[in-house]
Amino acid sequence: MTPAPSSSPPFDVEPAYRVFIDSLDYLSSSDITRIKAAFAYAEKAHANQKRMSGEPYITHPLAVAGAVVEWRMDADAICAALMHDVLEDTGTTKHELAEKFGKEVAELVDGLSKLDKMEFASYQEAQAENFRKMLMAMARDLRVVLIKLADRQHNIQTMSAMRADKRARIARETLEIYAPIALRLGLNKLYRELQDTSFRLIHPHRAEVLAKALKAARGNRDELLTRIQSGITDKLAHAGLKADVFGREKSLYSIFRKMKDKQLSFSQVLDIYGFRVVVDNVPTCYLALGALHGLFKPVPGKFKDYIAIPKANGYQSLHTTLIGPYGTPVEVQIRTREMHNVAQEGVAAHWLYKDMDESSADLQIKTHKWLQSLLEMQTSDSSEFFENVKIDLFPDEVYVFTPKGKIMAMPRGATAVDFAYAVHTDVGNQCSAVRINHELAPLRTELRNGDLVEIITSSKVSPNPVWLTYVKTGRARSKIRHFLRTMQNEESARLGERLLRQELLSLGVVPISIPALAWEQLVKVSGQKTMEDLYTEIGLGKRLPSVVARRLLAREDMSPDRPSNMTLAIHGTEGMAIQLARCCQPIPGDPIIGSIKKGSGLIIHTHDCPTIRKSRSTEPQKWIDVEWEPEEGKLFEIQIRVEVKNTRGALAQVASAIAEAGSNIEHVSMNADPERLFTVLNFTIQVAHRNHLAAVMRGLRHIPEVSRIIRERGADS
């Protein structure tokens, strides 16, 4: 049931309230009645609250609702804007809101409410979790983010009463998150305002100095500006083209960023004049471009066609840079009126301009796809999700082509791996090579505008942790981490099961003879959900198999340090759960021993590894007897040092002998002695087992120039 509106709002809110009500003339009388009721409800809920400036709190939701009305949004969105703080600031519940104003309004308000009732370890964690909640609500209903942006806009406009450090923190958050979201949604006008206001709050002195300099420079530029504008207008009229031409002002923050990023002086930034040409239709855009290229010479390589290939946020225009009078660079954007509306208001143009159904529908679809892609990045760690999304909010883009000619927008700096994950998660996970413009290229190659990218996949390939060092998109980073985490858990679970089985057998117990109830109780007391989770904990070294085995058997009388008399057989190909130590680089045939390292799984060393001598004598319970289980086809890296006489062709002979022995050379480096009589060759080679290594060394000893061969043992574990 809808409550009746209050008879009269407080006197100091009255003028703003009246202006607000008068602006609702595009809505029906029943909608206006609902909005008045929502105002009355919000006013009552915030009756005893004041803003830090001393104003009644209701002035804030009223201002937010006013901004939403400027986008000509529907009654539900306006009601939600008026009541966006009632859930977190008052005792009102979501259920109560749904009863009074409908489920849709309640969902919008809930999506806008922070998670104040939850406890977080830090401000960063709370911020990340709130952001995740907002994105999920955004994906369900785009109106959530538009109201949130209006809320943030009013908040940073009215922060003068706050502490300076808090002002700066909120302004930085706005620059890092909310301004890029506004840009990604095509809300350019709001984007620039959020940037400029945040800049003034973070760097008040710099903003003041720049504003004064800009005001002074404007007067000196007027004559040249007028001359260029007149020339453009006359040229278009002479060509029979109807167009509106106006100068494009740079925002304070864009001037500051350009000066900082490109190390330019204020005068250098302002020496570039910007103009916008708005015409009636797309063919006229290209005719206007031709006319302007006839007026002033275009700068080669400075033309961009965002009409044929729109930006991901729906932005369309022709961009060209011309050489104007006195050699002055002139940047011109040419677009239709509909494109201009989208460029200014983005997705909000859907509500604002009723005559642009087709383009706004396309923009809505693109925006929905982007929001869905953000949800696909979800991880259990909200901070990681937050970072992934921040990475994805890059405004700069490059446009590349799939082999079928489809255009894909990627962030500047994106690599072939980013592209593979943008196509599909499975393509990314099985990405083995890439052809860029029909030529094979490294996976870390950065993509450039116009590249034709073809990903080569293989079912035998899986994501490499090294990819994380160069991928650019949050999606790729999230998918790689998810795969590696899943693989590590699966491999660790298999290892954990083997370790527990071995421990039980060493105690004289066959695992299959243990009753199911005992296994269930073990899972329960361990605090895990499944036996698989417990196996993973053992495999990752977070639990000792000896302790878990005794708990399972309830035989606490046994010595915790009792060593196992069973030996664990390994292939060396198990993946991340079993790692071969870098210090001694064990290969099949080497006597080996294993140590469970917390979070890393089982680390395999050679018996004579000098790095582990002390630990083996002081902590024998941490070590497990391990042996190699034969497996064909796997190659292991090993380092050898070959000392040769400094003669012509010695390196070629050594490399040839290694190849003849069936080994691959992964890396080679050289060191000559001071007298230059001998050269030391350091090889990283691949061998199948100890006998294979012996065969390589025998082949090298037959070379007369070789004086010494040593298998290297590293110093680091």
Select the more confidently predicted residue: 391 or 570. 570
How many residues make up the chain in this entry?
717
* DSSP 8-state symbol, 56: B
Q: What's phi and psi for 276, nearest 5 deg?
A: -125, 130
Tell whether 436 is covered by a domain. no
Tell whether 685 is covered by a domain. yes
Tell whether 621 is covered by a domain. yes
Tell whether 178 is covered by a domain. yes
- 561 shares its domain with 517: yes
pLDDT value of position 427: 92
pLDDT value of position 563: 44
Tell whether 474 is covered by a domain. no
Last residue of a domain, one of 355, 372, 388: 355
pLDDT at position 8 over 60: no
Stretch (H or E) spanning 570 = strand 568-570
Report the pLDDT averaged over residues 436-447.
Answer: 89
pLDDT value of position 333: 92
- 19 shares its domain with 61: yes
pLDDT at position 126 over 70: no
pLDDT value of position 220: 64
Report the pLDDT averaged over residues 15-23.
Answer: 86
- 198 shares its domain with 214: no
Last residue of a domain, one of 355, 377, 395: 355
Tell whether 86 is covered by a domain. yes
Query: Bridge partners of 643?
Result: 680, 708
Q: State the pLDDT confidence band at 4, using cuts at 50, 70 and 90.
A: very low
- 652 shares its domain with 612: no
CA dist 646 and 648 (Å) reads 7
CA dist 104 and 420 (Å) reads 38
- Residues of 361-374 as b/e, b for ≥16 C-beta within 10 angstroms? eebeebbeebbeeb
Could you report the per-residue pLDDT of 393-405, keeping only the tens digit for each?
Answer: 655 677 888 888 8
Contacts of 340 (CB under 8 A, 6+ apart): 276, 278
- 197 shares its domain with 268: no
Q: State the pLDDT confidence band at 558, using cuts at 50, 70 and 90.
A: very low
Could you report the per-residue pLDDT of 658-704, keeping only the tens digit for each?
Answer: 888 888 888 888 887 666 678 888 888 888 888 888 899 999 988 88
- 622 shares its domain with 601: yes
- 128 shares its domain with 209: no
CA dist 340 and 288 (Å) reads 16
Last residue of a domain, one of 579, 594, 628: 628
pLDDT value of position 387: 65
pLDDT at position 91 over 90: no
CATH code: domain of residue 262:
3.30.460.10
Q: Is 604 helix (H, G, I), strand (E, B) or coil?
A: strand
What's the total number of domains in the chain? Answer: 4
Domain that holds residue 672: 636-711
pLDDT at position 246 over 80: yes
Tell whether 413 is covered by a domain. no
Query: What's the token pair of residue 633?
Result: 């086809």
CA of residue 106 relative to chain centroid, distance = 31
pLDDT at position 229 over 90: no
Highest mean pLDDT among 16-20, 168-172, 453-457, 623-627: 453-457
CA dist 687 and 685 (Å) reads 7
Report the pLDDT averaged over residues 453-466.
Answer: 86
Report the pLDDT averaged over residues 151-156.
Answer: 90
Q: Are 61 and 13 within 8 A, CB to CB?
A: no
As a dihedral over the C-alpha atoms of residue 633, residue 634, residue 639, residue 643, rounded to 10 degrees, the angle is 0
Could you report the per-residue pLDDT of 628-667, keeping only the tens digit for each?
Answer: 876 656 778 888 999 988 888 888 888 888 888 888 888 8
Query: What's the token pair of residue 319?
Result: 């961009």
Q: Is 151 helix (H, G, I), strand (E, B) or coil?
A: helix
Closest CA to 179 of 143, 201, 153: 153
Closest CA to 555 of 508, 488, 499, 490: 508
Residues with a known catalytic role: 88-89
Query: What's the token pair of residue 257?
Result: 């960023």
CA dist 167 and 21 (Å) reads 31
pLDDT at position 357 over 70: no
- 35 shares its domain with 182: yes
CATH code: domain of residue 103:
1.10.3210.10
Could you report the per-residue pLDDT of 472-524, keeping only the tens digit for each?
Answer: 887 888 888 888 777 777 777 777 788 788 778 777 777 777 888 888 888 77
pLDDT value of position 537: 77
Highest mean pLDDT among 381-385, 499-503, 565-569: 499-503
CA dist 516 and 526 (Å) reads 16
pLDDT value of position 315: 81
Could you report the per-residue pLDDT of 421-432, keeping only the tens digit for each?
Answer: 989 889 999 998
pLDDT at position 71 over 80: yes
- 58 shares its domain with 116: yes
pLDDT value of position 564: 45
Tell whether 331 is covered by a domain. yes
Helix axes 382-392, 474-506, angle to 10 degrees: 150
- 683 shares its domain with 588: no
Place of tokens 């809110």: 13
CATH code: domain of residue 661:
3.30.70.260
Using a cut of 0.75, tell me whether the model's pTM lies above it. Answer: no
pLDDT at position 268 over 80: no
- 112 shares its domain with 166: yes
Could you report the per-residue pLDDT of 36-68, keeping only the tens digit for each?
Answer: 999 998 888 888 888 877 788 888 999 999 998
- 193 shares its domain with 81: yes
